[in-house]
Amino acid sequence: MNSLIVKGGTLTGGEVTVSGNKNAVLPMIAALMLTDGESVLHNVPDILDVHTMLDIAVSLGAEYTFENGTLRFGCRDVKTHIIPQELCSRNRTSILFAAPLLARCGKAVLYPPGGDVIGRRRLDGHFYGLTKLGAVMEDDCRTYGFTAADGLQGRELFLDEASVTATEQILIAAVTARGTTVLYNAACEPHVTDLAEMLNAMGAKISGAGSNTLTIEGVDRLSGCEHTVCEDHIEAGSFLALGAAAGVPVTLHGTAPRHYWMLRRVFERLGWQMTLHKDHIILPGGQEPRIESDFGGYIPQISDGTWPQYPSDMMSCTIVAATQSQGTAMFFEKMFESRIYFVDRLISMGANAIVCDPHRVVITGRSQLHGVSMSSPDIRAGMAMVIAALCARGESRIDRADVIYRGYEHLVDKLRALGAEVGEA
């Protein structure tokens, strides 16, 4: 495992081009297995999770080339319907190969997926969607087995939670199912919409993308396509949190303003102003942030939720940024009960924080942080630690940096472009 050595107080600001969306391209790779035609994806981030999905695809019979952000991918023949346990355990989205394997082979066998340990992460939506569409599931406590000898059949479905990956699984399964599928309470994050747009480019008939109701008319066959992956709004938000916490100017290129309306509102509550342009965002430096109280002088609460509410993946970085703003705010992480635990590392760095319970933490700033040695528990907490280390006095060491690299492309290079003194060990 790699480690990052970070010297605090070195950030000067600058410009960063946002990479392709991690959470869009991972399900896209699974969806490309639906066809035997060749596809080309542009703006694909070179991160560990992408390579894991490609490793799984190759184990099933796919071939690809990946260079300078362009992925050329094809799978003429699926050689097996079983995904090895070691590959499944590397990330969360390995479960998304269930739908294309059912479409191509009529059966699929997978092991439980891996991914960040941020609390219980239900798979019920996946199993509900696949079985309601006609798959038969067998669970032997070690593997998840699915069969659909007669194919899948479209129908009306209602998710009990707007799960992103369950929505993606159902999309991938329904595009070649017989008849029409209507999915209610679907996730509508930008990466879900981007997946739907790619599937439509392959010949699917999906309407309602970007809303909570998706209508999918099944088609007999899909073809290859060419598609450009949308930008990663979580990476963009992470760098905005970094600039805000360090008080330096940051300009982000390659952004779509509609993806940042809620983020801008939360940052305004914490005392930072930014300007959203057609294809870039400007966060000025030298701001003197003060947390905005609720009407009547009450402590504000920053909560996450399903899109278009504040993304859960932004909570860790935003909590760190709040330590550098004057005032008090409560952060309520509703979606995952273990995401808040990384705050213990912030407290060891000097942050004024009270962890109320597994879901809530109160932050009072402004705190002078100091460098420590710590270990990254998950992708987003790892990036939050990088932000804290760059705001701290002295040097910090962040172990298990490979975890961060699962979600952030060329992280060290981008940090250095902002003036950071950071090295790898």
Which residues have a catalytic role annotated?
116
Return d(Cα 253, Cα 263) in angstroms, integer. Answer: 16
Calculate ∠ Cα 234-70-379, nearest 5°.
30
Specify the DSSP class assigned to residue 52.
H
Give how far the C-alpha of residue 304 lies from the chain's centroid of Cα atoms, to the nearest Å. Answer: 14
Helix (H, G, I), strand (E, B) or coil at 229: coil
Cβ-Cβ contacts under 8 Å for 260 (sequence gap 6 or more): 233, 236, 237, 276, 281
Give bridge partners of residue 4 from the DSSP assignment: 398, 424
> Where are the alpha helices (H) located in 275-337, listed in sequence order?
315-322
- 13 with 419: CB under 8 angstroms? yes
> Does the bond joining 366 to the residue before it have cis omega, within 30 degrees of 0?
yes
Q: 9, 37, 10, 11: which is closest to 249 by C-alpha?
A: 11
- Buried/exposed code over 137-161 (b: 16+ C-beta within 10 A; e: otherwise): eeeeeebbbbbbeeebbbeebebee
- 41 with 73: CB under 8 angstroms? yes
Q: Tell me how crowded residue 337 is: count the other CB atoms within 10 A of its CB.
A: 14
